[in-house]
Amino acid sequence: MAHKKSKSKYNKKLLYLLLICLSLILIISTLWVYKNSLQSKTIIISQQPSSCSGEWISCPSAFVKDSSQASITIQNSALQEFWKNFNIVIPTTSKINKVTLKLDFYSDKRSGYLEIQVSGNGGLSYEPSHKIGGNIKEKTYIIDLTSDLNWTAENLDNENLIIKTICIQEGKPNNPTCYIDYLITEATFTPFDFSVFISPLDKSITQGESTSTTIKTSFLGGLSQPITLTYKNCPPDSICVFTPSSGTPTFSSDFIVRTYTTTPSNTYPIIISASGDDKTKDSVFNLIVNPLPLNISNNETQIPQIPPQQNETENQTQNKTQDITKNTTTTTNITTSTNITTSTNITTSTNITTSTNITTSTNITTSTNNIYKHNNIYKHNSEYNIFNKYHFSYKHFNIFKLFTEYNSKLYTKYNYLSKKYHNFK
C-alpha cells in the first residue's frame, strides 16, 4: 500500500516537471518568433549576365548552365572578357550585406588559371583580382567580393557592375584553354524597415479633457530613412497633433488629443500611420470619450414661487382706526403708528430662507388732566390699563388678520371695556 502511494507521488512530480518543460518551450518559441518579427528580412538575389564583350569565344554560353561553355585559348598573352547587365535591382535604401560571384571553371591544362576583377563604377576602375584555377575538371568556385567595395545598391545596377575575367598561364604546359560553364552574381541585402509601437493602446477620458500616448518607431534594417507620422479618425470637435510629426528611426513621438465639451462621447479607433521609403505601418489607438457627469446640485433645484401674502392697504387700516376712535372725545389724543416691514427672500435651493420681520409700534397718548378730573375713571385705572392692553390687541388683530384667526372672546372683552370707558367719562 505504501509502495503504491510513493509511486503515485512520483508520477505527479513527473507530470508537473513535464508541464513546466512544455511551458518553457512555449515561452522560448514565442520569444523567438517575436524577436524575428522585429528584425528586417534578409533578401538574396542571384542573377547571371545578359551581355558580354571581349576576346572569349561563345561568351553567351556562360549565361545558362548546360553542356556548352564559353572558352578562350591562350596564345601569346592573357585574354580577357567583360560580363555585364546582371539585372540586379535593389532598393536604394537597402544595406548590402554580401556580394559573391559563383562560376563553374576548368582548364584543359593545369597551367590554366582565371583572374577575376570587379568594377562598381561602370569600368572606370577595377578592384584587386581574385585568382582561381589549376584544375582540369569542372569545379564550382565561390568568390567573395564583399570586401572589394563599400557596396551600395547603385554599385550593383546594370550601369555600374562589371565582372572582368582574364585567362592566364602559370607554369607549363603552354597555351592552356580556359572554360567557363556558368557565371552568376549573388547579392544579399536588407531593405530598410521599421516597426511602430503605441503605448498605451487605450485611453479613457471625459469630454473636455486631454490625453496622450507615445508612438515609438524602431529601426529594423537597411539604411535608415525619414518617417512621417499621420492619423485618421480624430474625434469631432477635437485637436490631434504629433510632437514631433517626423523623424529618423529609432525615435519617439507624443500623440496628443485635446477634446472639448462638444466632442461627442464615443469610442474612437484612431489610426496612427508611419510612412517612409514607400512603406506604411499602421497601428490603432483606441480613445474612449465619456460624457460629462450629471451634477444635479441643490442650487439647480427649482422651487416654485410663493405668492406674497395680501396685506391690508393703508386706507383700510385708517378706516378701521377711525371706526375704533370715532366715539372718543377731543380730549383724548390717540396717535397710532404702524410700521410693517416684510422681507421675503427666497433662494432657489433646497434651503429656503424666509424672514418676516413685523414691527408694530402703537403709541397712545391721553390727556391725563381730563382723565384725573373724574374720580370714577381714576378708581378704575386698572381696568383702563386692561382696556389699553386689549385696545392694542384689537388693532393688532385688524391689521394682521391674514396671519391670525378671529378671536371672538377678545372682541367681546374689548366692547365691554370700551362701553365702560365711555360711561365713566
Residue 199: count of CB within 10 angstroms of its CB = 10
Q: Tell whether 172 is covered by a domain.
A: yes
Residues 185 and 130 in one domain: yes
Q: Quick one: 83 and 170 in the same domain?
A: yes
Does 411 reside within a domain?
yes
Same-domain pairing of 232 and 176: no
Domain that holds residue 106: 44-190
- pLDDT above 90 coverage of the chain, percent: 55
Same domain, 253 and 356: no
Do the domain assignments include residue 48?
Answer: yes
Flag whether 126 is in a domain. Answer: yes
User: Domain boundary at 173, 190, 207, which?
Assistant: 190
Lowest mean pLDDT among 20-24, 181-185, 208-212: 20-24
**Percent of the residues in the chain that have a pLDDT greater than 70, as a whole number:** 63
Whether residue 79 is found in the same domain as residue 184 = yes
Query: Is the same domain home to 109 and 231?
Result: no
Which of 290, 322, 350 is the last residue before a domain boundary?
A: 290
Residues 267 and 399 in one domain: no
Residue 299 lies inside a defined structural domain of this protein: no
Task: Note whether residue 382 is domain-resident.
Answer: yes
Helix/strand/coil (H/E/C) assignment for every residue in 57-74: ECHHHHHCCCCCCEEEEC
Within this chain, do residues 220 and 275 fall inside the same structural domain, yes or no?
yes
Q: Is residue 341 part of a domain?
A: yes
Q: CATH code at 112?
A: 2.60.120
Q: Are 425 and 376 in contact (CB under 8 A)?
A: no
Q: What's the number of domains the chain is made of?
A: 3
Q: Is residue 8 part of a domain?
A: no
| Angle at 291 (CA atoms; ends 285, 294), nearest 5 degrees | 160
pLDDT bracket for residue 375 (50, 70, 90): very low
Domain identity same for 56 and 178: yes
Same domain flag for 282 and 331: no
Instruction: Indicate whether 155 and 213 sit together in one domain.
Output: no
The answer on 56 and 175 residing in a single domain is: yes
Q: What is the mean pLDDT of residues 270-287?
A: 96
Task: Give the burial string for 332-362 (b: 16+ CB within 10 Å, else e).
Answer: eeeebebeeeeeeeeeeeeeeeeeeeeeeeb
Average confidence (pLDDT) over 127-145? 96
Cis peptide before 191 (omega within 30 of 0): no
| Residue 369: pLDDT band with limits 50, 70, 90 | very low
Q: Which of 190, 216, 242 is the last residue of a domain?
A: 190
